[in-house]
Amino acid sequence: MDHSPLDDAPTGGPLDGVLVADFSRVLAGPYATMMLGDLGATVVKVEGPGGDDTRTWKPPVRTDPEHGNIATYYLSINRNKRSVVLDLRDPADLAAAHRLAERADVVVENMKPGGMARFGLDHAAVAERNPSVVYCSISGFGDRGGAHLPGYDLLVQAVSGLMSVTGAADGPPYRAGVAVFDVLTGLHAALAVTAALQHRERTGEGQLLRTNLLAVAMSTLVNQTEAYVAAGAVPHRMGNEHPSVFPYQPMPTGDGELIVIAANDAQFRKLATVLGDPAMAEDPRFTTMSDRITHRVEIEQRLRARLATRSAQEWYTAITAAGVPCGPINSVAEGVALAEELGLDPVVRAPDAAAVPTVRNPVDYSATPPSYRRSPPPAGADSAEVRDWLDR
């Protein structure tokens, strides 16, 4: 497939030369295609006349002199893409969408199951014209019994059981503070696409990939779902406590809370020593993790009594120096500052006129690092360029 006219300058990324037709919107799909774009793929984001939903999800906003107030939600998941506006109900625009899908190495979509078929853009139709295409469909609840259900992260957090284990033991269920299953579905989709491209490299065969938020939720609830399927134990809300590790929670100090973790016996012995109560680790009630879980109330009383004698900062310094995990409960701003302090360089900018700050791809590659070539585009910013290429 010759799609070089749309390629960025070679970056050494592992997906250089791969063309992704991105028919997705909101979060899971756009997150996946941003990950592919970071690795060098050329991503063409297809938007309807109203643009991606997240363009309207304000506040917060970033004020741009040329384009006004831009939703930071949209900015967080759409770098390294070109935007073309196509109205799939318009015959000419639909023909352009077909040409794009025919030339693409990868198609990503998250319409409701059956939605792409209305436009002749489903996997069967695209693969007939483009047999080697890697086609990734993302939905909320799969394309069988849940095909009619809308896929929103909050809904999946509720029905999957996540909210039943989030919140205080005697309080109401809570959602996570971020759309965790959308993000994790995007990551699974990106991983699946790269695996399918490797398969195509070996065999020449494309394939259909399907994932959904509920299936991802079942997988990424990990120990909580496994507790039920393997042991019949139904997890419940425990606030900030952990069902299988103690201590593993915020603990009060002389002037504020501190996260304190002892995930194994050696860490618990070190913690007891640095707190000035080494006998605690020798108590036969507290010797193993299972013992500590059984007697967590007694241990917590002793921990609280010791931690109350000094400030959070003093304990943070001492406990960390002893090799035991602990840390403050930061704001997002403080979290970014910590990442900067630790040399993780969390903020990146593309070398274009917009230079919008976004959050760094979280993986370092020694040979094929991610690149940040394009800031998130305004709706239709690349329509003329893409349409001209499609008409050739």
Residues with catalytic annotation? Answer: 182
Longest pairwise C-alpha distance within the chain? 79
Residue 348 tokens read as 């990146």
List the structure tokens of 29.
């799909």
CA separation for the pair 111, 122 (Å, rounded) = 10
Is 87 within 8 Å of 49 (Cβ atoms)? yes
Return d(Cα 256, Cα 261) in angstroms, integer.
16
Using the CB atoms, write b or e for 80-103: b if 16+ within 10 Å. bbbbbbbebeeeebbebbbbbbbb
| Contacts for 247 with CB less than 8 Å, ≥ 6 apart | 260, 261, 262, 271, 292, 296, 299, 300, 303
